[in-house]
């Protein structure tokens, strides 16, 4: 695989050749695959929902368990990786993952919790400027979080939430429409909150352009990167949003319900006056254990921490973050574009009208995932996929989301997926 333009071919041989030439092919061995009905590793296309378990996750968790057994409370300082600063093991890797300064990121809590904490600080409605601009099709948790924040400040969501919706007959948002809405409503918008990538359509936005336009209108900007972290190559510091939040159990393979991540731009790193909900783990490390009454936040994102974090979860996440750090997002972006491009190529060869991708076809406007609408018995198709050892996810009434995660999915996986689709189309 050289150069960025790949001429895809239809047969299975081509998939095998691409895998043989794939510089990242060895990474597949670093993950544990569930087995399908035939006892073989499944084709796992739901890394956008729950990433696979890295081989090293269990030994890392066991190490913390054994330290606890051996050392009890002393583990805070004497464990192989002491618990007191354990979360710091993830800071630099996380910063590289999302294109941020170490000061700007922290691993803590879970996504929806972090979204609330960020809105406490960055949704500061005034009489004239009190609205939140978001996607009409945002993930439900984000909609609940936003509506409840708006009500918390005494507003009604019907009035205070401005929703971006696609044009009639279209599935995804147009960048020009987002910018036009900002132009029209920007003066009354306190916060612009977008997902990147959208969980349902797979659409990715131009974060830099949206952030620039929103800041020019005086709005604060936050991104929900649940489907972006570990999927897109991000440059949060340069793009400049005020904050971002994400979870680490999707593309980041940190394990079910594991800790999420937060980005707070450097420009807010030393603003002790910024309102926030505080806890002792966000307090200046030098004086934390003096247990004084006054809160002095750590500079940067760490200053938003509330509690001492769950070490077992951090241990599992560390296994995956080491892999991301070893490979880097640029190599993953290249493989991702090829894998998803190959999937798109194979889909285009299926009978006309059988399947329609609602995800943008322009690689810069999407990540790994293609959201596919099937006209013919989608539930039955899902059963056939399951029987063939292909794991996908279904969204009512007719969307199957397929995300060949470049860390552990192969070209042959994509081929096998489309093979089942083809059988169904012919049936």
Ligand X SMILES: *Cc1c(COP(=O)(O)O)cnc(C)c1O
For ligand X, give the closer residue by CB, 47 or 297. Answer: 47
Give min distance, CB of 231 to ligand X, in A.
11
| Of 100 and 194, CB closest to ligand X | 194
Q: Is 107 helix (H, G, I), strand (E, B) or coil?
A: strand
Based on DSSP, count helices (H) and strands (E) in the chain, helices before strands: 14, 15
Q: How far is CA 222 from CA 181, 194, 198, in A?
A: 17, 7, 14
**What's the CA gap between 18 and 1, in Å, rounded?**
7
Site for ligand X in 229-268 (CB under 6 A): 247
Report in angstroms how near the CB of residue 110 gets to ligand X at its nearest.
4
Nearer to ligand X, 194 or 298 (CB): 194
CB atoms within 10 A of CB 314: 26
Q: Which stretch binds ligand X (CB under 6 A): 18-26, 53-61, 68-76, 224-232?
A: 224-232
CA dihedral (241, 212, 367, 230) in degrees, to 10, reads -20
Interacting positions 43-62 with ligand X (CB under 6 A): none
Least distance from ligand X to the Cβ atom of residue 156, Å: 23
Would you count residue 223 as binding ligand X (CB under 6 A)? no
Q: Could you tell me how many residues of this chain bind ligand X (CB under 6 A)?
A: 12
Q: How far is the CB of 227 from ligand X (least distance, A)?
A: 5
- Least gap, CB of 115 to ligand X (angstroms): 7
Task: Give Cβ neighbours of residue 32 (< 8 Å, ≥ 6 apart).
Answer: 52, 53, 54, 55
Position among 57, 100, 105, 111 found at the interface with ligand X (CB under 6 A):
111
**In the complex, minimum distance from the CB of residue 18 to ligand X, in angstroms, rounded to a whole number:** 29
Q: How far is CA 108 from CA 105, 143, 263, 286, in A?
A: 10, 21, 11, 20
CB of 317 to ligand X, least distance (A): 13
Encoded one letter per residue, x for contact with ligand X by CB under 6 A and - for no contact, window 127-146 reads ------------x-xx----
- Binding part of the chain for ligand X, among 200-208, 220-228, 290-298, 404-412 by CB under 6 A, reads 220-228
189-195: strand order across its sheet: 105-108, 260-264, 243-246, 220-224, 189-195, 131-135, 161-164
CA distance 89 to 93: 8
> Quick one: which segment of 37-45, 108-116, 169-177, 418-426 binds ligand X (CB under 6 A)?
108-116
Which residues contact residue 83 at a Cβ distance below 8 angstroms, ignoring those fewer than 6 apart? 64, 67, 75, 76, 308, 311
Residue range at the interface with ligand X (CB under 6 A); choices 88-96, 106-114, 338-346, 377-385: 106-114
| Residue with Cβ nearer ligand X (75 or 230) | 230
* Beta strand ranges found along 196-239 (DSSP E): 220-224
CA distance 402 to 347: 12
Q: Based on CB atoms, which residue is closest to ligand X, 49 or 334? A: 49
What is the nearest approach in angstroms of ligand X to the Cβ of residue 315?
Answer: 19
Q: Reduced to 3 states, what is the DSSP secondary structure of residue 195?
A: strand
Residue 319, token pair as written in the block: 């296994």
Select from 53, 91, 112, 369 the one that contacts ligand X (CB under 6 A).
Answer: 112
Q: Which is nearer to ligand X, 121 or 198 (CB)?
A: 198
Measuring CA to CA, how many Å separate 192 from each of 132, 220, 366, 413, 423? Answer: 6, 6, 20, 38, 44
- Site residues (CB under 6 A) for ligand X? 110-112, 139, 141-142, 195, 199, 224, 226-227, 247
């Amino acid at each position: 695989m050289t150069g960025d333009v790949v001429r895809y071919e239809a047969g299975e041989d081509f998939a095998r050749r691409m895998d043989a030439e794939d510089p990242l092919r060895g990474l597949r061995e670093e993950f544990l695959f569930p087995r399908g009905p035939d006892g073989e590793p499944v084709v796992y296309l739901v890394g956008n929902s729950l990433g696979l378990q890295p081989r090293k996750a269990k030994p890392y968790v066991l190490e913390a368990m054994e330290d606890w057994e051996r050392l009890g409370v002393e583990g805070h300082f004497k464990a192989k990786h002491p618990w007191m600063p354990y979360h710091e093991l993830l800071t630099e890797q996380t910063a590289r993952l999302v294109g941020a300064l170490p000061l700007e990121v922290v691993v803590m809590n879970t996504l929806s919790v972090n979204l609330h904490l960020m809105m406490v600080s960055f949704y500061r409605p005034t009489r004239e400027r009190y609205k939140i601009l978001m996607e009409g099709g945002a993930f439900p948790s984000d909609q609940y979080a936003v509506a409840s924040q708006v009500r918390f400040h005494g507003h009604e969501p019907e009035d205070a939430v401005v929703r971006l919706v696609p044009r009639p007959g279209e599935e995804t948002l147009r960048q020009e429409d987002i910018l036009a809405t900002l132009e029209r409503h920007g003066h009354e918008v306190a916060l612009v909150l977008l997902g990147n990538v959208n969980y349902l359509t797979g659409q990715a936005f131009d974060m830099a352009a949206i952030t620039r336009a929103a800041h020019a209108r005086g709005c604060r900007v936050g991104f929900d990167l649940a489907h972006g972290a570990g999927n897109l190559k991000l440059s949060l510091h340069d793009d400049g949003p005020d904050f971002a939040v994400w979870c680490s159990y999707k593309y980041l393979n940190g394990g079910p319900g594991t800790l999420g991540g937060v980005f707070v731009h450097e420009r807010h790193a030393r603003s002790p006056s910024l309102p926030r909900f505080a806890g002792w783990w966000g307090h200046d490390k030098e004086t934390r254990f003096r247990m004084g009454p006054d809160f002095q936040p750590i500079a940067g994102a760490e200053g938003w921490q509330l509690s001492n974090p769950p070490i077992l979860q951090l241990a599992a996440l560390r296994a995956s973050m080491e892999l991301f750090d070893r490979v880097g997002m640029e190599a993953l972006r290249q493989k991702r574009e090829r894998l998803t491009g190959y999937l798109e190529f194979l889909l285009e060869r299926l009978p006309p009208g059988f399947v329609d991708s609602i995800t943008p076809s322009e690689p810069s406007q999407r990540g790994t995932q293609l959201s596919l609408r099937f006209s013919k018995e989608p539930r039955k198709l899902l059963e056939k996929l399951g029987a063939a050892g292909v794991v996908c996810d279904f969204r009512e009434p007719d969307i199957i989301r397929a995300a060949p995660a470049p860390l552990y999915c192969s070209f042959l996986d994509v081929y096998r997926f489309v093979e089942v689709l083809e059988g169904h189309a012919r049936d």
